């Protein structure tokens, strides 16, 4: 299933997927650009899972992040064959199952490595591969080894260079059929509205749980000020209306704000909510207005992932609504977990001093760290 997509934008708070872009060129050739966290692949870890690493792998990963582009290329030369063997493109001809097809040989053309930036953030390098197919109009299937984590595979028009479609692929899974027709419009398969709705519902939920750590902390911050239903409902409603509005306007290209601005502000919103929890024990009028304003920022953050994956052009509203419903389910799940974890003690005299203030302090410190990290 393929969906129309915009160029990739990587949010600092996301587990950044590998982005593979396929383009049919002359003579049956196919160019494949893969944007990925190369250091993570070389260290033998899936992107976004640094917390689960062994000490040796973690140290290796950190060392690689500090290396210059030339040094990374030198290290890559020693692992290129092994890494490329984990990248698979299949053309299903004369077999019924993708698993029965032989992988197409891919040739490394170039490696582009950015200069060292903020070493605390993943560096996005680009592998440029090429292959020649005898039957370009046959369906292709794409798969990355679980080493690379989640991925997005996209189709690019060779003339306009526009991204014609994209598909999010879970770790280790195989893509739906990819059609590259030289000199003809690429045929994109959207699927039924139920397929589209279900897919984007899951993506929206996963954008909160387990991937949206900063969104989770913001919701926890809202919960901590008051676990009573009415005040919590006021805050969640303001937040929901705001991020729904900004998400829709962003996807319609009515508003657009650079991630370099949005991401630090999202982190700052976490700091603010946490500090206010420490300074006051009840919801003030301005709290709702500020939560609404922060919700607009979070909506722009939600749009980042959705713009990477794209929305089905024939089912734009279905995709958008399903994604947003998934986000809401994710938020409600976070609130439910909070209730199960601490609401039992909400009426105790020590609840604020032993739970609200320490938890809010920890959230504020994490948010402050993210502010400086994302400004870097």
Task: List per-residue pLDDT tens for the chain, 376 residues long.
Answer: 343 333 333 333 344 678 888 988 877 789 999 988 898 888 887 654 444 445 677 788 888 988 999 999 999 999 899 999 999 898 876 555 555 566 788 999 999 999 887 666 678 899 999 998 876 667 888 888 888 877 878 888 888 777 676 676 777 888 878 877 654 444 444 556 777 788 788 878 887 887 778 889 999 998 898 777 788 888 888 888 998 898 888 878 788 777 778 888 889 999 999 999 999 877 777 888 888 998 898 888 777 767 766 665 567 788 788 888 888 899 899 989 998 888 788 888 898 899 999 999 999 999 999 888 778 6
Q: What pLDDT is attached to residue 13?
A: 39
Nearest 5°: phi and psi at 258?
-60, 140
**Count of C-beta atoms within a 10 Å radius of residue 99:** 9
Q: What pLDDT is attached to residue 312?
A: 59
Q: What pLDDT is attached to residue 99?
A: 56
Q: What pLDDT is attached to residue 11?
A: 37
The pTM score is: 0.66
Q: What pLDDT is attached to residue 270?
A: 93
Q: How far apart are CA 43 and CA 59, in angstroms?
A: 9
Q: How far apart are CA 329 and CA 86, in angstroms?
A: 35
Q: What pLDDT is attached to residue 16?
A: 62
Q: How far apart are the first and last CA of the chain?
A: 37
Q: What pLDDT is attached to residue 162?
A: 72
* Contact between 165 and 4 (Cβ < 8 Å): yes
Q: What pLDDT is attached to residue 128?
A: 95
Query: Domain coordinates of the chain in residue numbers?
Result: 18-189, 194-375
What tokens appear for 35 in the block?
Answer: 């944007």
Q: What pLDDT is attached to residue 107?
A: 93
What tokens appear for 315 in the block?
Answer: 């089912």
- Rounded-to-10 torsion of CA 220, 226, 231, 237: 0
């Amino acid at each position: 299933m393929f969906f129309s997509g915009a160029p990739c934008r990587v949010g600092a708070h996301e587990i950044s997927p590998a982005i593979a872009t396929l383009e049919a060129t002359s003579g049956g050739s196919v160019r494949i650009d893969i944007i990925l966290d190369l250091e993570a692949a070389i260290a033998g870890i899936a992107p976004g899972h640094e917390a689960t690493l062994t000490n040796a792998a973690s140290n290796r990963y950190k060392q690689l992040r500090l290396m210059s582009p030339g040094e990374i290329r030198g290290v890559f030369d020693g692992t290129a064959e092994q890494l490329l063997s984990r990248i698979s493109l299949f053309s299903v001809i004369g077999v019924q199952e993708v698993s029965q097809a032989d992988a197409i040989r891919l040739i490394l053309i170039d490696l582009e490595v950015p200069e060292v930036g903020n070493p605390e953030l993943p560096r996005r390098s680009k592998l440029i591969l090429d292959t020649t197919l005898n039957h370009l109009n046959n369906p292709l299937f794409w798969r990355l080894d679980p080493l690379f984590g989640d991925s997005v595979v996209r189709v690019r028009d060779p003339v306009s260079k526009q991204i014609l479609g994209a598909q999010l692929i879970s770790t280790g899974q195989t893509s739906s059929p990819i059609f590259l027709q030289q000199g003809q419009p690429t045929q994109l398969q959207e699927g039924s509205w139920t397929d589209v709705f279900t897919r984007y519902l899951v993506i929206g939920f996963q954008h909160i749980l387990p991937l949206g750590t900063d969104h989770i902390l913001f919701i926890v911050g809202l919960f901590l000020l008051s676990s009573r239903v009415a005040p919590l409902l006021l805050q969640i409603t303001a937040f929901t209306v705001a991020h729904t509005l900004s998400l829709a306007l962003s996807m319609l290209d009515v508003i657009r704000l650079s991630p370099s601005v949005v991401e630090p502000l999202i982190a700052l919103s976490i700091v603010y909510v946490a500090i206010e929890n420490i300074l006051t024990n009840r919801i003030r009028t301005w709290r709702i207005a500020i939560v609404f304003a922060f919700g607009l920022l979070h909506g722009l953050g939600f749009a980042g992932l959705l713009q990477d994956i794209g929305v089905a052009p024939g089912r734009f509203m279905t995709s958008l609504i399903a994604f947003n419903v998934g986000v809401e389910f994710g938020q409600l799940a976070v609130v439910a977990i909070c209730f199960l974890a601490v609401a039992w003690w909400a009426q105790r005299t020590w609840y604020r001093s032993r739970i609200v203030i320490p938890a809010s302090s920890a959230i504020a410190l994490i948010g402050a760290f993210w502010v400086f990290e994302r400004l870097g």
